[in-house]
């Protein structure tokens, strides 16, 4: 680590850094030819659960672009898989799970399996921490620059896949069950909240310097359900992490939350809040404490298109946040068809002041 500390950790601690630190959601992904080469060698779960492969994939974008954050290569559905829910990733379709839609279904899952089942993930984090804190550069990234980020899916978003059994635009079955069988749904959310907090704490012990909570489908819920199934679980997860690992920052991402993002930022206790592409970052910042770090929120399709339009919008987002803690990122993940040179151009643009 440098004398001044890692830029991303400083920003997550509430420091306004100029230029802001930068990393990208799905920065380790199909847009990289080196990722595609590894993808041919093993299925998705095997890649996640093989430390050699997961370590290599996590570091690929760092070597090439020198981001300030290296986010663990894994998946939000590793948790239900570790609990015993069947999971398969099918090309062209995405994740397919055996649905969990009743207390009886839930009883077949075992939270006690998670620690043993995720040992390979923790080994990956241990290896990564040794590398990011090591004396050698990681490609173009200098020693002491890169922060290691762990993550998990937030309870509601993970529940969406567990109940639906596959991806969806609306998750009607899941949202319907939250109304028609609140006893089951509350139990599911409670189970996932405890398991998620425990898993994130395990990630911190293994080496994660910050953790992120992805609530990709939070915006599907009306305010009352949002408070119950998004804000309340996040509050509990953050509280547990703070109690066990004080000082480790938590980034929350209530995607598509709209105006409810303000309530999320004020009430959950997260150190930073990521905003999606549709959020007016400056307007939301004006309604939040100046110590809350904001992350985001360039449209990934801008990066796909590249060129001066991308550079201009990236500078506008960066400059609008000058003077308050900000981590530059996208509003969602890098699109697989994105040319790698566009990502390199984006990183240079953010750092060119």
- The CATH number for 137's domain is 3.20.20.210
236 is an active site residue? no
Mean pLDDT value of segment 280-303: 98
- Give, in degrees to the nearest 5, the angle at Cα 159 between 156 and 160: 90
Residue 345 CA to residue 108 CA, distance in Å, equals: 49
Mean pLDDT value of segment 311-333: 98
Q: Where are the alpha helices (DSSP H) in 40-92?
A: 44-49, 51-65, 78-83
169 within a domain of the structure (yes/no): yes
Token pair belonging to 50: 């093989």
* Number of independent structural domains in the chain: 1
Please say whether the dihedral angle defined by the alpha carbons of residues 236, 241, 244 and 248, taken in this order, is positive or negative.
negative
pLDDT in tens, 123-162: 999 999 999 999 999 999 999 999 999 999 999 999 999 9
Residue 245 marked ligand-binding: no
266 is an active site residue? no
Token pair belonging to 220: 């599907």
The model's pTM is 0.97
1 within a domain of the structure (yes/no): no
30 is an active site residue? yes
User: Pairing state of beta strands 210-215 and 87-90?
Assistant: unpaired
93 is an active site residue? no
113 is an active site residue? no
Domain around 29 = 7-351
Nearest to 74 by CA among 56, 92, 54: 54
Over pLDDT 70: what percentage of the chain?
99
pLDDT in tens, 239-268: 999 999 999 999 999 999 999 999 999 999
pLDDT of residue 91: 86
Q: Give the other-Cβ count within 10 Å of 263's Cβ.
A: 17
Residue 208 CA to residue 223 CA, distance in Å, equals: 32
290 within a domain of the structure (yes/no): yes
Token pair belonging to 120: 């390979």
306 within a domain of the structure (yes/no): yes
State the distance between the two ends of the chain, measured CA to CA, in whole angstroms: 24
pLDDT of residue 4: 55
* Distant-in-sequence contacts of 189-194, Cβ < 8 A, 24+ apart: 189/155, 189/156, 189/159, 189/229, 189/233, 191/106, 191/109, 191/111, 192/79, 192/155, 192/158, 192/159, 192/233, 193/155, 193/233, 193/236, 193/237, 194/111
2 within a domain of the structure (yes/no): no
Pick the catalytic residue from 47, 64, 161, 175: 161
Residue 180 marked ligand-binding: no
Residue 309 marked ligand-binding: no
What pLDDT band is residue 353 in, cutting at 50, 70 and 90?
Answer: confident
């Amino acid at each position: 680590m440098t004398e001044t500390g890692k830029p991303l950790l400083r920003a997550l601690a509430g420091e306004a850094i100029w230029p802001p630190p930068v990393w990208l959601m799905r920065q380790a992904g199909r847009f990289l030819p080196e990722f595609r080469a590894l993808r041919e060698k093993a299925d998705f779960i095997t890649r996640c659960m093989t430390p050699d492969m997961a370590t290599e994939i996590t570091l690929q974008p760092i070597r090439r672009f020198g981001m300030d954050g290296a986010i663990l290569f894994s998946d939000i559905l590793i948790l239900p898989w570790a609990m015993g829910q069947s999971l398969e990733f099918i090309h062209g379709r995405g994740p397919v799970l055996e649905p969990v839609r009743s207390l009886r279904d839930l009883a077949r899952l075992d939270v006690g399996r998670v620690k043993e089942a995720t040992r390979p993930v923790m080994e990956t984090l241990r290896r990564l921490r040794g590398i990011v804190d090591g004396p050698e550069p990681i490609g173009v990234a200098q020693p002491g620059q890169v922060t290691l980020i762990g993550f998990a899916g937030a309870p509601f978003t993970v529940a969406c896949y567990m109940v639906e059994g596959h991806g969806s635009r609306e998750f009607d079955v899941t949202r319907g069950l939250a109304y028609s069988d609140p006893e089951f749904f509350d139990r599911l959310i409670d189970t996932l909240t405890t398991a998620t907090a425990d898993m994130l704490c395990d990630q911190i012990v293994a080496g994660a310097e910050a953790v992120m909570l992805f609530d990709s489908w939070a915006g599907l819920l009306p305010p009352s359900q949002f408070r119950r199934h998004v804000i309340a679980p996040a509050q509990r997860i953050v509280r547990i992490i703070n109690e066990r690992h004080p000082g480790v920052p938590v980034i929350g991402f209530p995607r598509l939350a709209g105006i409810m993002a303000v309530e999320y930022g004020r009430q959950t206790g997260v150190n930073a809040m990521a905003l999606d592409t549709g959020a007016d970052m400056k307007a939301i910042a004006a309604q939040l404490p100046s110590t809350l770090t904001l992350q985001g929120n360039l449209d990934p399709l801008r990066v796909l298109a590249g060129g001066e339009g991308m550079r201009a919008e990236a500078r506008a987002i960066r400059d609008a946040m000058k003077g308050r803690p900000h981590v530059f990122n996208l509003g969602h993940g890098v699109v697989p068809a994105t040319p790698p040179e566009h990502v390199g151009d984006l990183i240079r643009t953010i750092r060119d002041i």
